[in-house]
Amino acid sequence: MKLIFMIVESSDADVLSDELLGAGHQVTKLGSTGGFLRRHSNTLISGVEDDVVDDVLAIARRVTQSREELAPIRPLPFLGELDLAREPATIRRGGAVIWVVPVDRFEKL
């Protein structure tokens, strides 16, 4: 048995959760925040048998496509009126960070 942790953007989390449930997998969704832009994300947790790990990962790959977006650069308050480059930066968002870890024991009470 494996425990799969998937950190995904909130905009992808509901779709991924629905797809996993529709495919017969159990999933728990937790709100989380992190990353460079401190955007809200979700951590999805799913316990699965070894032979379906690849199925879960295939669903995650299909649903959580990464994409690029322009992020505005804000001046730092301690620099005052210094005119630094304020062109928007292109950032990658979406996608998923996934860990698959072995489970030594599982009990459902």
Answer yes or no: pTM beyond 0.95.
Answer: no
Domain assignment present for residue 109? The answer is no
Tell me how far apart the alpha carbons of residues 28 and 26 are, in angstroms, rounded to a whole number: 7
**Residue 24: which CATH number?**
3.30.70.120
pLDDT higher than threshold 60 for residue 79: no
**The pLDDT value given to residue 90:** 65
User: Is 81 contained in some domain?
Assistant: no
What domain count does the chain have?
1
pLDDT digits (tens, 9 = 90+) for 39-75: 678 999 999 999 999 999 999 999 997 767 666 666 6
Domain that holds residue 59: 2-74+86-102
Residue with tokens 């699965």: 48
- Give the residue with greater pLDDT, 109 vs 40: 109
Task: Write down the H helix ranges in the chain.
Answer: 10-22, 53-63
Residue 79 forms part of a structural domain: no
96-107 tens-digit pLDDT: 899 999 999 988
Is 50 a member of any domain?
A: yes
What is the per-residue pLDDT for 100?
A: 98
